[in-house]
């Protein structure tokens, strides 16, 4: 087999997503035969001291505190934007104008206007491919659900219930950037609802046409300002140091719930919260159709539940599919371990990196990949939900350009 070509990657951001993306680039060529292999050329972030440790630990050949230097380096082929939402547009557009392929973290941007500018920039940069890290599409169970619906196993879809429940955002959690509207754009809505909106669009193959009604709520209105609390949080009070208490205003939602309709007429409910006590990362959906139903919960990510209503009544019942059998066609599973040797959160990012470099190399991804235009459809729904909550009225998605 001829040796694969290579492409230099620059990653902007070295926190939670910086680690997940780095791990993906570090491992993808070990598990997937790709037309183009990534080379971890440059990592860019603001904290030079931290960056000097991060780069060698995670396999980056170079590091810089100047992201523009990395973006404009002629040796770079792909720029990966793993920064807070408010700078996605500036960094992605700069990379597109420099002629790079661009992978951007989700949601596409902090605001609809920023997202629109990113889509327009992508259209102008005709030779550049764009990708958005909606990594849950790359879980074998979610990818299989997409394939089953596409094959007609559910028939007409009647109902969708989707929820993303976490509990780390209680009163003791400090004022991280995720609680600041000017940096995050929104709270649980943009962080969590974005994922389940994308998954529902992806699995059903249908667009959300209307937000019928919504609730947006900020329960914790004041949070403690702590100098060292700028990174990602892994538990209540994580990163907290003893200091004189200084409080700041939380300017994002803690929870958002909404009702919606799909293009085929299905009724949908969505819920996202950081205050669902006892739920650590309960991210999932249930889809009910005329021929059957599907259930997924990321806390059991190697399983997909399926109800086949076409069987005779005496043998109907929910079945649990262990989605680790690559030889039987479970998506991505054949690149990992033997049957029932399960995979974890990080593997979805590796699977996505494999599909990105397959696309760049002219090959098809295992399942469809969201580009900027695709992710903009999710951004429109995010925007419509907040408008619906604040105006107390339904919002047609087609009214949003």
Could you give the CA distance from residue 69 to residue 54 in angstroms, rounded to a whole number? Answer: 18
pLDDT one-digit tens code per residue, 308-346: 999 999 999 999 999 999 999 999 999 999 999 999 999
The number of angstroms, rounded, from the C-alpha of 274 to the middle of its chain's C-alpha atoms is 16
**Percent over 70 (pLDDT), the chain:** 95
Given pLDDT bands bounded at 50, 70 and 90, which one contains residue 48? very high
The CATH superfamily of 5-135 is NAD(P)-binding Rossmann-like Domain (3.40.50.720)
Could you give the CA distance from residue 111 to residue 117 in angstroms, rounded to a whole number? Answer: 10
pLDDT one-digit tens code per residue, 2-40: 556 999 999 999 999 999 999 999 999 999 999 999 999
Domain parsing of the chain, residue ranges:
5-135, 137-343+371-391
* pTM strictly above 0.85: yes
Could you give the CA distance from residue 212 to residue 394 in angstroms, rounded to a whole number? Answer: 4
Per DSSP, 364 falls in state P
Q: Which two tokens stand for residue 358?
A: 């397959």
To 5 degrees, how large is the angle CA 57–CA 80–CA 66? 75
The domain defined by 137-343+371-391 folds into Dihydrodipicolinate Reductase; domain 2 (3.30.360)
Cα–Cα nearest to 105, from 120, 122, 86:
86
- Per the prediction, the chain carries an average pLDDT of 94
pLDDT one-digit tens code per residue, 131-149: 999 999 999 999 999 999 9
Q: Which residue has the tokens 């992710």?
A: 375
Distances, alpha carbon 163 to alpha carbons 19, 42, 185, 253, in Å = 26, 37, 20, 16
pLDDT at residue number 40: 98
pLDDT one-digit tens code per residue, 223-247: 999 875 444 433 444 444 555 689 9
């Amino acid at each position: 087999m001829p040796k694969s070509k290579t492409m230099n990657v620059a990653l902007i951001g070295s926190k939670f997503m910086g680690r997940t993306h780095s791990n993906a680039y570090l491992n993808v060529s070990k598990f997937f035969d790709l037309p183009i292999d990534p080379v971890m050329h440059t990592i860019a972030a603001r904290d030079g001291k931290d960056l000097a440790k991060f780069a060698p630990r995670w396999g980056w050949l170079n590091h810089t505190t100047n992201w523009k230097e990395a973006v404009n380096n002629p040796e770079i082929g792909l720029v990966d934007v793993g920064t807070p939402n408010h700078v996605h547009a500036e960094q992605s557009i700069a990379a597109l104008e420099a002629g790079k392929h661009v992978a951007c973290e989700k949601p596409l941007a902090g605001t609809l206007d920023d997202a629109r500018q990113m889509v327009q920039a992508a259209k102008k940069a005709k030779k550049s491919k764009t990708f958005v890290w909606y990594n849950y599409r790359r879980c074998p169970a979610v990818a299989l659900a997409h394939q089953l619906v596409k094959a007609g196993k559910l028939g007409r879809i009647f109902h969708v219930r989707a929820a993303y429940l976490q509990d780390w955002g209680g009163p003791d959690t400090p004022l991280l950037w995720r609680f600041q509207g000017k940096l995050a754009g929104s709270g649980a809505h943009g962080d969590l609802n974005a994922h389940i909106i994308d998954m529902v669009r992806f699995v059903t193959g249908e667009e959300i046409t209307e937000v019928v009604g919504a609730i947006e709520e900020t329960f914790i209105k004041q949070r403690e300002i702590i100098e060292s609390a700028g990174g990602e949080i892994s538990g209540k009070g994580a990163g907290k140091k003893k200091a004189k208490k200084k409080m700041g205003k939380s300017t994002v939602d803690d929870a958002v719930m909404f009702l919606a309709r799909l293009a085929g007429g299905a009724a949908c409910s969505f819920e996202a919260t950081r205050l669902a006590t006892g739920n650590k990362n309960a991210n999932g959906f249930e889809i009910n159709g005329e021929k059957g139903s599907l259930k997924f919960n990321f806390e059991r990510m190697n399983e997909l539940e399926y109800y086949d209503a076409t069987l005779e009544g005496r043998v109907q019942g929910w079945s649990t599919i262990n989605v680790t059998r690559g030889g039987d066609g479970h998506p991505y599973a054949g690149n990992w371990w033997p049957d029932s040797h399960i995979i974890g959160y990080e593997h979805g990012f590796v699977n996505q990196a494999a599909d990105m470099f397959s696309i760049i190399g002219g090959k098809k991804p295992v399942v469809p990949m969201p580009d900027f235009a695709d992710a903009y459809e999710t951004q429109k729904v995010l925007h419509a939900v907040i408008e619906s909550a604040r105006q107390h009225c339904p919002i047609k998605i087609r009214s949003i350009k």
